[in-house]
Amino acid sequence: MSARNLSKLLFVAAAVLVAACESPAPPAEPASEPEPQGSVGDARLLDADADAGNWLMYGRTYDEHRFSPLTQIDENTVDDLGLAWHRELDTTRGLEATPIVYDGVIYTTSSWSVVYAFDAASGEQLWAYDPQVDRPRVARFICCDVVNRGVALYDNKVYVGTLDGRLVALDAKTGTPVWDVSTIDTSKPYAITGYPRIADGKVLIGNAGAEYGVRGYVSAYDALTGDRLWRTYTVPGNPELGFESDAMERAAATWHDEWWTAGGGGTVWEGIVYDPELDFVYFGTGNPTAWYRALRSDELGDNLYVASILALRASDGEYVWHFQTTPNDNWDFDATQPLMLADLDLDGRERRVIMQASKNGFFYVLDRANGEFLSGEQFVDGVTWATSLEPDTGRPIESPSAFMGAEAVIVSPGPRGAHNWNPMAFNPTLGLVYLGAKVGTQSLHAPDVEWMYDANNVNIGRDRDYDGPLVAELAAKPPPHGELVAWNPVAQRAQWRVTHPTVDSGGVLATAGNLVFQGRGDGQFIAYRASDGAKLWEFDAGTGIMAPPVTYLVDGEQYVSVMAGLGGPEGLFNVPGDGPVEFGNGRLLTFALGASASFEPRPFGHSEPPTPAITVDATPETIELGRELYGATCRRCHGTNAVAGPLPDLRYSTAGVHQQFEAIVLGGALAPLGMPAFDDLLTSDEVRAIQAYVLARAAEPE
């Protein structure tokens, strides 16, 4: 089994990207005043808070508060909330999008970067746009499901980033493409799952891929023409090719060995925010490549600017400041979680801050003008990788027990994080930030150089087959759980917490009706009282919820909408012990007071335990090899221990599928359904071993 074949595929063109921080183009033409009927321009976006009836951008307003001033639905009337309409979407994969609502139309995205426009009052579909990504090709290099977090709306256009790395502008009325540009080197395993961000006539977009070995960057495009205005990298490239900026040269001093051969990582896969006051762009960066310190940069240096929060000048993409949440990351602690802007009174002084509930378990409050660390505290119990933060700098004080060289260790949080991409909300009157936290997630890290990384140090997603005493120790720990946390960012402590039966819960909406809305992995969609966390209303969405709800008005009536569809890393890996989870067909649900529509979820899953469809002769050694190969190549989509979530559970494969097993896995026979071919990675014997393992799992008791 050769990892080098994969590496060759990924690095057909081994040259490191050179172009960066190009000369800034002249600023885009300002939106004409008054804005034409039907258009969303800069003035309307800047004043989005006053536009109570619409939800014009990802976090509703540029400060990302996800706080609606609407009060028709409030703590007293929410009891009368019912389903107004629902729209089934043609997918069982994860749905993560924030619907954008303007002038009675909802614009949202489904899996595979498909965009929809619906009538916001009736749910009638107005148009759909499928970017026709080469599904089996891109599915190979997407760590965490074929998701998309939504569109941006500007100048009568809807902007979407696609899994194959394109940025597409669509006519908002018809869904017809106006322009379509590639934002990546398609020979490398980049992908886009994040939303585009509008900033003063520009469209900002990042990408993902640090799990597979790429160099992170963010790009700005002219919203009207699609011309690229600037591109800024987050990690330095090969010094022999010259640095694109002083910031890159400074960063290079924090790396060792030939880091650029694996790309460095630090991808901006989520969380780009624009600050019109300072004209800054903020974002967090992902993990380095490779994940593990022992396999990267001679184990030395902070490795800037991975696992960091950065500010750039919006006009030209020049570096302004950075704050690294996890120096020399060792645990996949991306800093890509949502960023929120606010003005807070800290020690009698009003500060313009930026806040993040980071994957590493700390809630950070920084001065957003200069990146100064103001405060940081653990927002969940059970963080073991660091004991605390240096009071002056915010630099973490690592626990020796979490240090991982060649030895296996258990670390909390695990790679799922204490908080992930799921957006948080802020009630400015109560001064509380609401977020969905994962508490007590652990991971057993057992890296192995020979087994997990190829010659280019590219992570191929394979942990060592560790079977030492830590396996039993991990199994004996209390199961993790989820929480809705109301966090006071000034006092840096929880005001209240709601404990969930599931680890995973969705993004959050806060309203002036003293309400907080959030969905859970088991499909319950719930309204809580914002001031004390009392549960006031709930609805069974029929499938797990990860996405954040939004609220809006049509003809004077307030609606609440949410995408329901469980997938993402948790859904795909389907971690046992996470509590009840609900998979099924994805849908968009919209609620209003006095409404009483209902729906019957399409059947999903299996009512009987699996039974092997065929029998094969296989030795225990072959089945064991199959287990290891399954873990390396199949697990990310078909589930841990061959127990699947939204994708086909291979234990239930029919005799017909088993007869075609090699044709499917090596020959790409199911490519039209999105199943990649692995003929560059696996041999016939190895495929037979995987098949034997799947059949052995089907024969085991549930």
Cβ of residue 175: shortest distance to Ca ion, in angstroms? Answer: 32
Rounded Cα gap, residues 165 and 185, in angstroms: 8
Residue 582 token pair: 């609900």
Smaller CB distance to Ca ion: residue 307 or 365? Answer: 307
3-state secondary structure (DSSP) of residue 688: helix
Smaller CB distance to Ca ion: residue 148 or 289? Answer: 289
Express the helix, strand and coil content of the chain in percent, nearest 5 each. Answer: 15, 30, 55
Rounded Cα gap, residues 647 and 644, in angstroms: 6
Smaller CB distance to Ca ion: residue 200 or 329? Answer: 329
Is 498 within 8 Å of 435 (Cβ atoms)?
no
Packing angle of the helix pair 620-633, 684-699 (nearest 10 deg): 100
Residue 89 token pair: 């979407």
Residue partners of 541: CB distance under 8 A and separation at least 6: 519, 523, 524, 525, 562, 564, 587, 589
Smaller CB distance to Ca ion: residue 286 or 544? Answer: 286
Q: What are phi and psi of 502, to 5 degrees?
A: -110, 155
Cβ of residue 290: shortest distance to Ca ion, in angstroms? Answer: 11
Cβ of residue 271: shortest distance to Ca ion, in angstroms? Answer: 13
Cβ of residue 331: shortest distance to Ca ion, in angstroms? Answer: 10
State how beta strands 505-511 and 67-68 pair. parallel
Chain centre distance of CA 631: 22
Residue nearest to Ca ion as judged by C-beta position: 287
Is 277 within 8 Å of 296 (Cβ atoms)?
no
Smaller CB distance to Ca ion: residue 108 or 326? Answer: 326
**Helix and strand counts by DSSP (H, E) for the chain:** 12, 37
Edge-to-edge strand list for the sheet holding 550-554: 81-88, 587-593, 557-564, 550-554
For residue 339, give Cα distances in angstroms to 229, 271, 343, 371.
24, 6, 14, 13
Chain centre distance of CA 104: 28
Smaller CB distance to Ca ion: residue 339 or 560? Answer: 339
Rounded Cα gap, residues 600 and 595, in angstroms: 16
Cβ of residue 388: shortest distance to Ca ion, in angstroms? Answer: 24
Which one of 42, 155, 332, 522 is the catalytic residue? 332
Rounded Cα gap, residues 638 and 581, in angstroms: 16
Smaller CB distance to Ca ion: residue 287 or 457? Answer: 287
Greatest Cα-to-Cα distance within the chain, rounded to the nearest angstrom: 75
Cβ of residue 217: shortest distance to Ca ion, in angstroms? Answer: 16
End-to-end CA distance of the chain: 31
3-state secondary structure (DSSP) of residue 401: helix
Binding site for Ca ion (CB under 5 A): 286-287, 332, 334
For residue 190, give Cα distances in angstroms to 161, 162, 185, 571.
12, 11, 8, 22
For residue 637, give Cα distances in angstroms to 8, 13, 15, 167, 633.
23, 27, 30, 25, 9
Smaller CB distance to Ca ion: residue 331 or 525? Answer: 331
Chain centre distance of CA 410: 24
Cβ of residue 211: shortest distance to Ca ion, in angstroms? Answer: 6
Q: What are phi and psi of 655, to 5 degrees?
A: -60, -35
| Residue (of 488, 494, 522, 487) closest to 506 by Cα position | 522
Cβ of residue 459: shortest distance to Ca ion, in angstroms? Answer: 10
Cβ of residue 359: shortest distance to Ca ion, in angstroms? Answer: 8
Rounded Cα gap, residues 645 and 587, in angstroms: 17
For residue 24, give Cα distances in angstroms to 131, 219, 421, 502, 587.
29, 12, 30, 47, 42
Q: Which residues pair with 107 in a beta bridge?
A: 100, 117
Q: Is 200 a catalytic residue?
A: no
The alpha-helical segments, DSSP class H, found in 468-535 are 469-476
Cβ of residue 650: shortest distance to Ca ion, in angstroms? Answer: 26
Smaller CB distance to Ca ion: residue 133 or 290? Answer: 290
Residue 100 token pair: 């954008």
Smaller CB distance to Ca ion: residue 92 or 360? Answer: 360
Positions marked active-site: 332
